[in-house]
Structure 1
């Protein structure tokens, strides 16, 4: 009996592989057949990697199937709804540890859980926990790391653990080609602003982001936040003083924004962008973390608003098919 136990233990040890997660933790993984995703954006990356069928549990927040998060629309609803709920979900929200223990997943992937939370979940469940990252302000070992670069590293990490290197290489190659193509687009030098950016919920016009990814790919600055990294709220007086010529608004917050414009039209009518009707809607940037595919679609959409000859319908189809396997019928208007 003891010999059999030693043989099983030896086999278990030989099959184990060690990976470095995005918190720079060494995590030993033996099997990769059953997974659970915890925290904002984790299931999105797993869906990009075409691994959602390996799920054995789901957060309640992932049952919304909203057009604000395109990845949720390609999930098998019947399968997802059949999975046990492992917790409410949300930034920094702990799962139900007892449920996780009973489910016995091989791996738990996380995002926007603190290093202490990640370590605690691993300790209590005796399951390898892999921290992923969306870069600056979205967890990870380097809080100043570019969002897209952090996501690429997370995709590569997932691919090594789950034996899906070809899929990660395909996605990263596409992202790199998009970056190079957008770098060649020349945008008029105008005072621009992006508002209505969601961050742990939807917000009005004064919610913005200094390193807004769709701007960054086009080398557009958000000068209203020169000395700030990541998300921020600006006051209306600052926005009025900045007086942008062009304003881009995130459609995820459309209802709140339209109510705000109606309520404060006496203020907004003095801003050049409103005076000249240079107000443009973008696809949702953040909804339970960042919609990476929409970063690229929004960059091309912004370029088209600046007069570039771009077929947005074709761009959207190509991007969605690459990330999600099919075109998604969404609209910003």
Structure 2
């Protein structure tokens, strides 16, 4: 009897072990299955984005940066265009200098359209010259620094010394380097979460350039006056013989630039004899060089030019100040178009058009301020202050 009971107990223990073992095996299998069927969840949000800047550097930046700095020519302009001026926590010296109030002439400080539209920018803390001071930048604890007219090496050095993310950008222009400008603007917009605003800007500029071209592209060559643009400022004011063979506002209205035959592009000096040979019908003067050109035009030789004798000399507002002020380029183009081809611009008031452009890009109508500072769209003989 005892043997039977013992045998029964042994059998019960064996059966219990089998059951427990089976249960553990099932649980392990379920856990393994559950682990294998877990969906691929996205990685946890680290709060940063990684971009490749215009110097082909990889930079990690805090998402939705609220404290930003623009260093160098054109950086703050793009920030203002993207309606992010309220995030700026420091500016370089060119964004704080008081503008010239003694008379028409060279831009000298906070007299750029975006400064006039955003006067509070000049009150931001000083962060050094146009290349930035690492310690002064670090003191403002920016989430990101946008740096123009730089190299990858210099941008990296500023990043390491300030311990702040630095993004290298290129300002470009509205001519052959327009795509470069758009790339930089869109990259900045991506970082700031302003992509929609960037597309509004580029679309507006493209439509405006297209409108200027459509109004003037079919004008016969013999109906296009010979035009000279003098007093072109570059790193300072220059006299009447300073010109630009590829002056953008004139190109945009398909104007006949008498200097176009000169090889090269950008600001250059010509000989007086060459200007007399060209004998332009119409002359535009960069108002940044007002004082110098005013004196030059007293020369009897220049007084003999038909454009001068017929009162066909006009002022255009300076746009090449701390890189291209794209807004003024477009505004000047409408004034030049209206002056050269009035029938093609009957529906355009250049001053009103300028304010439309300034409002769209800078956020405020500032033509009256620009006119007060530089002279505006008037015959050059009327530029008195």
Task: Tell me which interval the TM-score lies in, with the shorter structure as reference length.
Answer: 0.7 to 0.9
DSSP-derived class of the 1:184 partner: helix
- Under a length normalisation based on structure 1, what TM-score does the superposition of the two structures give? 0.83
**Does the 8 A contact of 2:55 with 2:151 survive in 1?**
no
Correspondence 1:315 to 2:353: yes
Choose which of 217, 221, 230 in structure 1 pairs with 2:252: 217
Choose which of 288, 296, 310 in structure 2 pairs with 1:252: 288
Counterpart Cα distance in 2 of 1:116 and 1:222: 40
Correspondence 1:289 to 2:331: no
Cα deviation, 1:169-224, whole Å, max 9, x if unaligned, reads 11111111111111112254232122222222232223322322212222235342
Counterpart Cα distance in 2 of 1:21 and 1:237: 47
Correspondence 1:36 to 2:69: yes
Deviation at 1:49, TM superposition (A): 0.9
Q: 1:313 to 1:229 in 2, by over 3 A?
A: closer
**Does the 8 A contact of 2:92 with 2:127 survive in 1?**
yes
Deviation at 1:234, TM superposition (A): 2.5
Deviation at 1:257, TM superposition (A): 1.9
Residues 6-45 of structure 1: matches in 2 within 5 Å? 14-31=46-63, 32-45=65-78
Count of residues in Structure 1 that have an aligned counterpart in Structure 2? 308
Higher Cα radius of gyration: 2
**Does the 8 A contact of 2:243 with 2:259 survive in 1?**
no
**Does the 8 A contact of 1:58 with 1:86 survive in 2?**
yes
Q: 1:224 to 1:155 in 2, by over 3 A?
A: same
Cα RMSD over matched residues?
A: 2.5
Residues 1-333 of structure 1: matches in 2 within 5 Å? 14-31=46-63, 32-64=65-97, 66=99, 68-77=111-120, 80-81=122-123, 83-89=124-130, 94-135=131-172, 146-186=176-216, 188-226=223-261, 227-262=263-298, 265-306=299-340, 307=342, 308-309=345-346, 310-328=348-366, 329=368, 330-331=370-371, 332=376, 333=378
- Under a length normalisation based on structure 2, what TM-score does the superposition of the two structures give? 0.73
**Does the 8 A contact of 2:189 with 2:195 survive in 1?**
yes
Deviation at 1:304, TM superposition (A): 1.0
**Does the 8 A contact of 2:49 with 2:60 survive in 1?**
yes
DSSP-derived class of the 2:118 partner: coil
Cα deviation, 1:217-264, whole Å, max 9, x if unaligned, reads 2223534244213332323333233222221111222222212323xx
Q: 1:133 to 1:219 in 2, by over 3 A?
A: farther
Counterpart Cα distance in 2 of 1:267 and 1:59: 44
Counterpart Cα distance in 1 of 2:122 and 2:44: 33
DSSP-derived class of the 1:37 partner: strand
**Does the 8 A contact of 1:207 with 1:234 survive in 2?**
yes
Counterpart Cα distance in 2 of 1:229 and 1:168: 29
Structure 1 gap segments, 5+ residues each: 1-9, 139-144
Q: 1:254 to 1:121 in 2, by over 3 A?
A: same
Counterpart Cα distance in 1 of 2:152 and 2:260: 29
Cα deviation, 1:290-310, whole Å, max 9, x if unaligned, reads 111111111110111112322
Counterpart Cα distance in 2 of 1:26 and 1:269: 58
Structure 2 gap segments, 5+ residues each: 1-42, 100-109, 379-385
